[in-house]
Structure 1
Amino acid sequence: MPEMPEVDALVADLRARMVGAVVAGVEPASFAVLKTFDPPPDALLGLTVTGLHRHGKFIDIDVDGLHLVVHLAKAGWIRWSDDLAPKRVKMGPGPIALRVRLDHGDGPTIGFDLTEAGTRKGLAVYVVRDPADVPGIAALGPDPLADGFELRPLLERRMQVKRLLRDQKILAGIGNAYSDEILHAAKLSPFAIAESLDDGEVTRLEAAIHDVLTQALEEAHGKPPTELKDDKRTRMRVHGRAGEACPVCGDTVAEVVFADSSLQYCPTCQTGGTPLKDRSTSKFVK
């Protein structure tokens, strides 16, 4: 799933390409992708793209005061083209969910396709007058890299710290991959209880959030969108590395698998050498 660093880099790339262009076409290829009906997508036609912003993991395209908001979900992405085919995209079960045509003054030949791999569809598109009209944006917690961010008040919850980091209503922008990386850097068990962390653990966690995300942002920016996902994978130290050696201590990276996701961690660095077998037996390991 694209997370804050990749979405932020993608927004920066699209901003350079899109601002000043006129929307010449909005072509849904999936009935399910559009989550709003007023204003209709055609309300964007003829309007100019004036800005692009990121809210958590949401992409916000400002079109003369209307907003085309995209959430890429688990397998969505934006595929830019400098030479779109003139034929309108068709409704169907293929990977393209939506096509947007733009015109910088020389015809509607540029634009992008919103694509989604796999059969589980979660990609979501909204056309709204205010980004806060999107429920997911309205409910977002603070951005962990925003000025004045304070972690400690957010930890006053009896919930596993891994779950807390991923909860967009508590913290905006962190997903499964970077939460694994942050907890490894902070030397914390994924199942440690947030409200039980001591001062030293809170300090380590706060520093890890800042350092991991800042470094990821720096490395993602400037890369072509086509390379962002693969680049993210190469930078992971424990996430997606089950069975490999921990780059810090050399122990074997372990994994806990759930029904629809998994997490990776280093037993030596994070759990005092104790393996986390599953949610029911490992939740007591702090």
Structure 2
Amino acid sequence: MPEIPDLNVFSANLTKRLVGKSLTAIHILVSRKIKTTEADFDAALTGQVLTAVKRIGKQLFFEFGQNHLLGLHLMLYGSMHWYEGKNENKFTIVELLFSDGTGLAITDWQKSVMLTLDPVISPVPDAMQMPDGYLQSALKKSAKPIKTVLTDGKTVQGIGNAYVDEILYAAKISPFSKANKIPESNIEILSQAIRGVLTDAENHILFLFPDTITEKERDFLQVHRPKQTLTLNGEPILKAELDKRKTYYTGSQQLFE
């Protein structure tokens, strides 16, 4: 699943290529997870100029003239691809065609991509925009494992299964630690790890794939390495399942319970 670092890069590259252009057509090929009709999308968006592409949490939001918003959640296997002329991408869910002839195909072999018209934005803070002291206060309210709290979207938006393992590894906190048992000093370290890990990953992706709008390799990750037995630092990787999520961590991460 694309997470914050990927989506920030995608947003920047979509902005560079599409902002200022008008949408000339939208075609929904698979409507399994799309509750709004193609006619409603068409009436609201066709002919409107794209003014911004932003990321909040795990979603991208395309802002169009006359205050319309197109929300996109790529889910686990969704991806985006440029095309010109005929779209040849397999498993296409939606096609967006812009005034300069640029096409954007959104694909998903699992057919789970979610597209919404004028969605309500969640008030839960984004992982990169949490107010000072927010996490310290929020974690006191939950006895659930810290990995669950960081990924369920109820306390913070945008952190997924891969980067939560990276964040907890950087903060040296076990994913099984009870959220309300973590000392405030360690929560401060955790807050810094959230911003640091996600920023470093975004910079890495930008360096290797500056123009990408499609998820690329994650070989640079330290501990969330499904095919490896050691971290990049040479520590043995421990593997477990937590809330039906595969979890990767090390023995050096402190357990608070």
For normalisation by structure 1, the TM-score amounts to 0.80
Q: Is the 8 A contact 2:136 2:184 kept in 1?
A: no
In the alignment, is residue 113 of structure 1 matched against residue 144 of structure 2? no
Q: Is the 8 A contact 2:81 2:214 kept in 1?
A: no
- RMSD, matched Cα: 2.4
- Structure 2 match to 1:252: 236
How many Å separate the matches in 2 of 1:116 and 1:101? 18
Q: Is the 8 A contact 2:225 2:231 kept in 1?
A: no
- Using the TM superposition, give the Cα deviation of residue 251 of structure 1 relative to its aligned residue in structure 2, in angstroms: 2.9
- Structure 1 match to 2:18: 18
Amino acid corresponding to residue 77 of structure 2 in structure 1: A
- Structure 1 match to 2:124: 141
How many Å separate the matches in 2 of 1:72 and 1:30? 14
How far does the alpha carbon of each residue in 1:173-205 deviate from its partner, in whole angstroms, 9 at most, with x for none?
110001000010111111100100113321221
Distance 1:116 1:210, change over 3 A: same
Q: 1:270 aligns with which of 233, 250, 253?
A: 253
How many Å separate the matches in 2 of 1:38 and 1:246? 47
- Structure 1 match to 2:93: 97
How many Å separate the matches in 2 of 1:258 and 1:266? 15
Percent identical = 27
Q: 1:240 aligns with which of 212, 225, 231?
A: 225
Q: Is the 8 A contact 1:220 1:228 kept in 2?
A: no
Amino acid corresponding to residue 69 of structure 2 in structure 1: H
How far does the alpha carbon of each residue in 1:50-72 deviate from its partner, in whole angstroms, 9 at most, with x for none?
11111111111111121111001
- Structure 2 match to 1:152: 136
Q: Is the 8 A contact 2:147 2:175 kept in 1?
A: yes
- Using the TM superposition, give the Cα deviation of residue 259 of structure 1 relative to its aligned residue in structure 2, in angstroms: 7.8
Distance 1:86 1:6, change over 3 A: closer
Distance 1:253 1:147, change over 3 A: closer
Distance 1:37 1:29, change over 3 A: closer
Structure with higher RCO (Cα < 8 A, 6+ apart): 2
Bigger Cα Rg: 1
Mapping for residues 30-69 of structure 1, pairs under 5 Å: 30-37=30-37, 40-43=40-43, 44-64=45-65, 65-69=67-71
Distance 1:56 1:21, change over 3 A: same
In the alignment, is residue 73 of structure 1 matched against residue 75 of structure 2? yes
Distance 1:29 1:37, change over 3 A: closer
- Structure 1 match to 2:176: 191
Q: Is the 8 A contact 1:243 1:252 kept in 2?
A: no
For normalisation by structure 2, the TM-score amounts to 0.88
How far does the alpha carbon of each residue in 1:108-127 deviate from its partner, in whole angstroms, 9 at most, with x for none?
x212001113x3x3210011
